[in-house]
């Protein structure tokens, strides 16, 4: 590992230097884990598999910490073992991209409320690296005998994620790209609309950029479908103290990141969670 802040990675260096851990709270104190595998997903996205198992629900998240950095939230791509899909967008994610098998990372969680499975035929819509928690959800849904269609959308073919992972799970996969270089041409909400016009689904699930989620929320209300959408937010504490992730009267780190909407498209319902 070669972190931008220049930490040594030898076991002695980690044990001998004083390390100031972040706060504990919900989800317990941070737990040390080590990377066991690194999976390249695209030019700027990697999945880290850790030697850690968590009793987590699809849609929940963890706070991830490295010495020299603040904690950052990441959705769980898997929980047994923990998998984190990381897009390189800044210094912290770049540091995570430098991790190699055997390197340590600290995890706090699981945190937040996840998805609730309902109905028999469900449509999952992921934009960019928002597909990560949906693969976890697809695994659980398919294990229950549900029919799953997974729409994975990106700007170009090179940025499409999890296509083969969804297929390996047994989901029907639809790919959408804005430039038409792979799958159907169009943005995620446009392709989702076409799917909903062609076939009957019992519920809509989504994770991705906020503009995409708001379009899916409106689409679900138009079609009279319940929707569960996982929102990204700036989460500093993960335990509802700082209020940095408030949205529509909900503190997302506690009452989200998954918000559930009734078929009438009203405000988020109380009490989301996996069942």
Q: Within a 10 A sphere around the Cβ of 70, how many other Cβ atoms?
A: 10
Nearest of 96, 41, 52, 55 to residue 73 by alpha carbon: 96
pLDDT of residue 13: 30
pLDDT of residue 129: 84
Cβ atoms of 82 and 52 closer than 8 Å: yes
Tell me the CA distances in angstroms from 115 to 13, 53, 66, one per residue in order.
Answer: 41, 19, 28
pLDDT of residue 275: 37
List per-residue pLDDT tens for the chain, 275 residues long.
Answer: 323 322 323 333 333 333 344 444 455 678 999 999 999 999 999 999 999 999 999 999 999 999 998 889 999 999 999 999 999 999 999 999 999 999 999 999 999 999 999 999 999 999 988 899 999 999 999 999 999 999 999 999 999 999 999 999 999 999 999 999 999 999 999 999 999 999 999 999 999 998 999 999 999 999 999 999 998 765 655 665 565 666 666 666 656 589 898 888 676 776 544 33
Q: Which residue has the tokens 């317990």?
A: 28
Q: What residues are paired with 31 via a beta bridge? A: 107
pLDDT of residue 185: 95
Give the HSE-up count for residue 182: Cα atoms under 13 Å, Cβ half-sphere. Answer: 18
How many residues can be counted in the chain?
A: 275
pLDDT of residue 247: 65
pLDDT of residue 14: 31
DSSP H or E run through 151: strand 147-154
pLDDT of residue 231: 83
């Amino acid at each position: 590992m070669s972190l931008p802040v220049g930490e040594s990675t030898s076991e002695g260096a980690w044990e001998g230097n004083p390390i100031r851990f972040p706060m504990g709270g919900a989800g317990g104190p941070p737990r040390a884990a080590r990377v066991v595998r690194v999976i390249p997903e695209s030019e700027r996205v990697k999945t880290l598999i850790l030697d850690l198992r968590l009793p987590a629900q699809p849609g929940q998240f963890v706070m991830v910490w490295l010495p020299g950095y603040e904690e950052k939230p990441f959705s769980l791509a898997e929980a047994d073992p923990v998998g984190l899909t990381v897009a390189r967008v800044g210094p912290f994610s770049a540091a995570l991209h430098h991790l190699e098998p055997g390197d340590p990372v600290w995890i706090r969680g699981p945190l937040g409320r996840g998805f609730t499975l309902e109905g028999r035929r469900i449509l999952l819509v992921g934009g960019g690296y928002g597909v990560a928690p949906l693969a976890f959800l697809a695994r659980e849904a398919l294990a229950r005998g549900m029919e799953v269609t997974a729409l994975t959308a990106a700007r170009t073919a090179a940025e499409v994620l999890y296509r083969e992972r969804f297929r390996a799970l047994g989901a029907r996969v639809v790919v959408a790209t804005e430039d038409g270089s792979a799958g159907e041409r169009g943005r995620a909400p446009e392709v989702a609309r076409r799917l909903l016009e062609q076939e009957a689904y019992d519920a809509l699930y989504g994770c991705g950029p906020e503009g995409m989620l708001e379009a899916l929320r409106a689409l679900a209300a138009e079609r009279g479908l319940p929707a569960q959408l996982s929102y990204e937010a700036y989460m500093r504490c993960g335990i509802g103290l700082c209020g940095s992730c408030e949205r529509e009267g909900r503190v997302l780190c506690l009452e989200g990141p998954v918000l559930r909407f009734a078929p009438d498209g009203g405000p988020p319902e109380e009490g989301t969670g996996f069942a």
